[in-house]
Amino acid sequence: MNRRHFLASTGASALALATPAPALAALPDFPWAKNYLKIDGHKMAYVDNGTGRPVVFLHGNPTSSYLWRGVLPHVETANRVIAPDMIGMGDSDKPDLAYTYDDHARHLHGLLDALNLSDAVLVLHDWGGALGFDWAMQNTDRVAAIAYMETIAPPVMPFDSYEAMGPLGDMFKAWRTPGVGEKMILEDNMFINEVLGKIGVAAPLSAETLAAYNSYYPDAASRAPLLAWPREVPIGGEPANTVSLTNRIADFLTTDDLPKLLFHVTPGAITPPEAVGWMQANVSNLTTIYLGPGAHFIQEDYPDEIGIALAEWIATL
Residues involved in catalysis: 126, 150, 296
DSSP codes, 186-255: IIS-HIIIIIIIIITSSSPPPHHHHHHHHTT--STGGGHHHHHGGGGS-BTTBSHHHHHHHHHHHHHHHH
Contact (Cβ atoms closer than 8 angstroms) between residue 296 and residue 168: no
Segment 161-169 long-range contacts (CB within 8 Å, at least 24 positions apart)? 161/235, 161/236, 162/235, 162/236, 165/235, 168/269
**Euclidean distance between CA atoms 53 and 159, whole angstroms:** 36
Q: Give the number of other CB atoms < 10 A from CB of residue 124.
A: 25
